[in-house]
Structure 1
């Protein structure tokens, strides 16, 4: 069995899968409101903190300013959201609750009233135009996973299809043309990072994302899948590829890669169809 203290060597520099296909950006997803529904895009700009334009630009907070999210309440999974950027509005829907369409603004009384009634607690919308509210403030770049990884994970669970697993993981960038867990090439040890390019945008992979309770829940209902974490840990350990492992794996409830984007890349554009190229390993500055 592979131990968690094995030190990783320099990743194999490759943008080609074992089947000979080129690694390609297949899907770009942002989440306009943190913890709510995704939005698929053909292209997106990199913004000030290295995140994606419009990603988690808004967040739900309680009276103490704490996030109202999937880590704290399963009820959020039952909220459907749709953001109309052109009109500057958001529509919220939930079972047995009248829907609301209102300007997507932190000062919107209509949204505050709807959210507070649904969660039965004071809840309001907060906005950050410069970088949003990333899940990892130390690695605030887009998260990366491969299509094959999503398929592999879905195969571990009865009744969980690929789209459900995609929504559970909530990744920003999905790479196709590569084998499952290929994205594990994009991180190294804790004192190093892996440089890679998507199109002409240079990013650095930091670590495999430590998962919380959210992936274990149905993204539509919030219902927990029995034994989700236990199955994940067992299968992740069994299927760990040769290029993965290392000192990040103090436990195996990790998948997807967190990144940072150098300031030199802010303002550049990522587009579906961009080639993905793994470059060199660099020191963690």
Structure 2
């Protein structure tokens, strides 16, 4: 099948489990509706996420189809607890505070979510073949690799690291289309400690970052601008979507570089 959008993942609460969907609306900000709309914060107003605590990997979360309810559990063990994200937010915060053993607040930003890269706040893009290659480097399953890298849009029908052509040598945006939506590739996504850990246990994979960086350097494709790699612990592409609020991305949409 030609180059196409094969998967859309959104993460309703930043750092918690994702949801695979068949379509996603683009917000006026360029973010995807429902992606990282909520985030956890500590008493000092800092994110509570996988960068700061491996304990977050023991939380399992699922969401109702309308996105209004979250069900949380610890390591899939009962009892699970279900909360309305708006009407029962204080109860959910109390549950999370008990788990993390510190005061936790749940904040919402329905307009743009809480992206890691605020200057490229659109969806992240990777190819299926890229994830398969990285999985093979570390002896992981494709699904576990997806969970580690937490990318929004997955492209199939292309070779590994195809997405490395979606950013330029001089930093100017590279435009590409998914269906009727035009995206701008901005930069390769710099990775943190999260992909080095088992997504269900938080246990670190030995030498993950070192092995990844060595293999990434050795397999950097000819179409990737080398100047954008001051180090090789980078994967997927950060994007912007400008002036297209209300447009819809659909699984199966064709993909082309403009």
TM-score if structure 1 supplies the norm length? 0.87
- CA deviation string 1:178-222 (max 9, x = no partner): 000000011112431110000010010001000000100111111
- Report deviation, 1:231: 0.1
What is the alpha-carbon distance in structure 1 between the residues aligned to residue 38 and residue 18 of structure 2?
13
User: Which residues of 2 match residues 31-50 of structure 1 at below 5 A?
Assistant: 31-50=11-30
User: Residues 140 and 259 of structure 1 are in contact (CA less than 8 Å); yes or no, is this contact kept in structure 2?
Assistant: yes
1:67 corresponds to which residue? 47
Between 244-253 and 134-143, the greater mean CA deviation after superposition = 244-253
User: Residues 105 and 125 of structure 1 are in contact (CA less than 8 Å); yes or no, is this contact kept in structure 2?
Assistant: no
Say yes or no: does 1:118 pair with 2:96. no
1:276 corresponds to which residue? 255
User: Which residues of 2 match residues 1-285 of structure 1 at below 5 A?
Assistant: 21-86=1-66, 88-95=68-75, 98-105=79-86, 108-158=89-139, 160-263=140-243, 265-279=244-258
Relative to structure 1, the CA distance from residue 208 to residue 91 in structure 2 (aligned partners, 3 Å threshold; closer, same or farther) is same
User: Residues 187 and 208 of structure 1 are in contact (CA less than 8 Å); yes or no, is this contact kept in structure 2?
Assistant: yes
- Report deviation, 1:85: 4.2
- CA deviation string 1:136-195 (max 9, x = no partner): 11000000000000000000013x111000110100000000000000011112431110
- Report deviation, 1:130: 0.7
What is the alpha-carbon distance in structure 1 between the residues aligned to residue 87 and residue 239 of structure 2?
28
Name the SS for the 2:83 alignment partner: strand
Provide the aligned length of Structure 1 versus Structure 2. 257
1:282 corresponds to which residue? none
What is the alpha-carbon distance in structure 1 between the residues aligned to residue 6 and residue 132 of structure 2?
14
- Report deviation, 1:245: 3.4
Between 187-196 and 215-224, the greater mean CA deviation after superposition = 187-196
Name the SS for the 2:30 alignment partner: coil
What is the alpha-carbon distance in structure 2 between the residues aligned to residue 154 and residue 70 of structure 1?
20
Unmatched tracts of structure 1, length 5 or more: 1-20, 280-285
User: Residues 100 and 110 of structure 1 are in contact (CA less than 8 Å); yes or no, is this contact kept in structure 2?
Assistant: no
Unmatched tracts of structure 2, length 5 or more: none
- Report deviation, 1:97: 7.0
Relative to structure 1, the CA distance from residue 106 to residue 150 in structure 2 (aligned partners, 3 Å threshold; closer, same or farther) is farther
What is the alpha-carbon distance in structure 1 between the residues aligned to residue 191 and residue 87 of structure 2?
29
Supply the RMSD in Å over aligned alpha carbons.
Answer: 1.4
